[in-house]
Amino acid sequence: MRRLVKLQPHARSSHWRAAPAVPRWCGALLGAVLLVAAPAAATTVVLLDDDALVARAVAIVHGDVVGKRCARTPDGRIFTEYRFAIREMLKGEAPPSGVVSFREWGGELDGLRYWIPGTGRFEIGDEVIVFLGATDATTAVGFTTGLAQGKFRVVRNARGARAIRQLGTLVTIDEESGEPVAHAERDEHDLEALLARIRARVRGERGR
């Protein structure tokens, strides 16, 4: 039988508390995530606009998910490693291989599933825009920027291409006041318009 373990965060802290007998991890999340308890299996994060997403991301990739595997750190924590074939490296340097790898906490291995509400998922074959966050220096594992806020899935059809983001399991707050801020559970953008906004903000960063 598969065991489900949900990682629970400390109140207003940058430390994740895992299930019993699993060590804590303190990561550099660039202020994007305030890890606080939230009801109904949700995670509370700072609501990030486009400028904040771009500024806080270490790298931004438009590409296709071509690999996905779950593994453990030496101390037993489960993570998922994704591989993205680059269509466009929107921020950061593209590796010569044309493929970016990123490890994110959570996953399923040997009948045990670790779940962080609000992280979202990628599946092989998905076309995505992903805002990659900082990773832990020891394990090279981290989170996407703002958790699900940094994950867009691209859907193409006869009417065009749309970038869709699912935020249903996030509770968002204002960074300054800490007060709750409403957000749509699902938002949708014209793909080319979203890419143009990201490129413009990255150029703005370089010009500062």
Q: Which of 118, 105, 106, 102 is nearest to 169 (CA)?
A: 118
| Rounded Cα distance, 23 and 76, in Å | 9
pLDDT of 150 higher than 60: yes
> Between the CA of residue 176 and those of 47, 122, 167, what are the distances in Å?
11, 31, 21
Domain with 14 in it: 3-207
- Which pLDDT belongs to residue 41? 59
* Cβ–Cβ under 8 Å, residues 115 and 106: yes
Average pLDDT (83-89) is 98
**pLDDT tops 90 at residue 163:** yes
Q: For the chain, how many structural domains are there in total?
A: 1
More confident residue, 4 or 90: 90
pLDDT tens-digit readout, 173-187? 999 998 988 888 899
User: Does the pLDDT of residue 33 top 70, yes or no?
Assistant: no
Residue 8 scores a pLDDT above 60: no
In this prediction, residues 24-36 reach a mean pLDDT of: 38
pLDDT value, residue 189: 95
Q: For the domain that residue 138 is a member of, what is the CATH number?
A: 2.40.50.120
**How far apart, in whole angstroms, are the C-alpha atoms of residue 74 and residue 57?**
27
Max mean pLDDT among 17-21, 195-199, 203-207 falls in 195-199
CA terminus-to-terminus distance, the chain: 54
Average pLDDT over residues 130-144: 95
Asked if 146 contacts 32 with a C-beta cutoff of 8 angstroms, the reply is: yes
pTM: 0.80
